[in-house]
């Protein structure tokens, strides 16, 4: 319930930022000039991407965006973890006199342990699936002409491509600024 409220608050808080007039409409996947291969964020590998006239989408950038988002979402495994702990371990309460009462038995140790085990296993699988080295392997295969594995390709959506375009444009802007500051001023 509490987490529901938190999520609701988060969603509501985004509204004043989102409702701004005159926002430019960038086409999805519209990426700028070639920036070369770089490491971004926490040393994640972002391969080079050349926007062609044929309009090949920035798949590698979208994959990076997908992986990064999913890595952050791994924090949500904390919720079933807490639920499992609350079920599996006895709960202590404090009354108004300050006396601590510990319930003799947990709510449901078998169910709690099952939830805990499932959460831990699920988290390991999740963290392994969205791993830096896996992304690197996919990027290498993609550069060599192999398709992106279907289980990752299925997860890609428009928002990932839009974020990839943001990242590429930001990189191009940063590089342009660095070049301008490195060039001798007349």
Partner 1 sequence: MIKQLLLAALLALGLRPAAAQTPAPGEPLASQQLKQHLRGQYLHSDTAQAIITLYSRRQAGGVSWMVGATLSALRLGLGSSTSNPGNSPYYTAGSDGSGNMGGAFLIATPLVGYGLAKLLHYSNAHLQAVLTNYAAGQPLPHALRRKLKPRFFRTPIVTYKPVKYKPA
Count of residues that bind partner 1 according to CB under 8 A: 55
Write the binding mask 44 to 83 for partner 1: x where contact by CB under 8 A, - elsewhere: -xx-x-------------------xx--x--x--x---x-
**Shortest distance in whole angstroms from residue 14 CB to partner 1:** 5
Write the binding mask 145 to 174 for partner 1: x where contact by CB under 8 A, - elsewhere: --------------x--xx--xx-xxx-xx
Write the binding mask 113 to 152 for partner 1: x where contact by CB under 8 A, - elsewhere: ----------------------------------------
**Shortest distance in whole angstroms from residue 151 CB to partner 1:** 23
Write the binding mask 21 to 40 for partner 1: x where contact by CB under 8 A, - elsewhere: xxxx-x---------xxxxx
The Cα 121–Cα 114 span in angstroms is 11
Burial of 168 (0-12, 13-18, 19+ CB in 10 A): buried
The Cα 156–Cα 59 span in angstroms is 9
Among 55, 180, 182, 186, which residue sits at the site for partner 1 (rule: CB under 8 A)? Answer: 180
CB 63 within 8 A of CB 138: yes
CB 47 within 8 A of CB 37: yes
**Shortest distance in whole angstroms from residue 55 CB to partner 1:** 20
The Cα 58–Cα 56 span in angstroms is 7
CB 90 within 8 A of CB 103: yes
Q: Which residues of 31-70 are buried (b: 16+ CB within 10 A; e: fewer)?
A: bbeebeeeeeeeeebbbebebeeeeebbbbbbbbbbbbee
* Residues forming the site for partner 1 (CB under 8 A): 1-2, 5-6, 9-10, 13-14, 16-18, 20-24, 26, 36-41, 43, 45-46, 48, 68-69, 72, 75, 78, 82, 85, 91-96, 98, 100, 159, 162-163, 166-167, 169-171, 173-174, 176-177, 180
């Amino acid at each position: 319930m509490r987490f529901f409220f938190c999520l609701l608050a988060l969603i509501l808080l985004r509204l004043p930022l989102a409702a701004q007039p005159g926002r430019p409409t960038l086409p999805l996947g519209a990426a700028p000039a070639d920036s070369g291969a770089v490491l971004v964020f926490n040393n994640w590998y972002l391969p080079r991407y050349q926007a062609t006239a044929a309009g090949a989408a920035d798949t590698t950038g979208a994959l990076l965006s997908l992986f990064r988002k999913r890595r952050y979402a791994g924090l949500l495994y904390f919720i079933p973890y807490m639920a499992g702990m609350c079920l599996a371990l006895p709960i202590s309460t404090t009354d108004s006199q300050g006396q601590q009462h510990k319930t003799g038995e947990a709510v449901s140790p078998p169910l709690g342990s099952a939830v805990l085990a499932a959460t831990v296993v699920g988290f390991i699988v999740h963290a392994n699936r969205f791993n830096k080295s896996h992304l690197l392997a996919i990027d290498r295969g993609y550069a060599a002409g192999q398709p992106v594995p279907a289980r990752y390709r299925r997860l890609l959506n428009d928002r990932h491509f839009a974020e990839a375009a943001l990242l590429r444009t930001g990189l191009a802007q940063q590089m342009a600024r660095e070049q301008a500051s490195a060039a001798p001023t007349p």
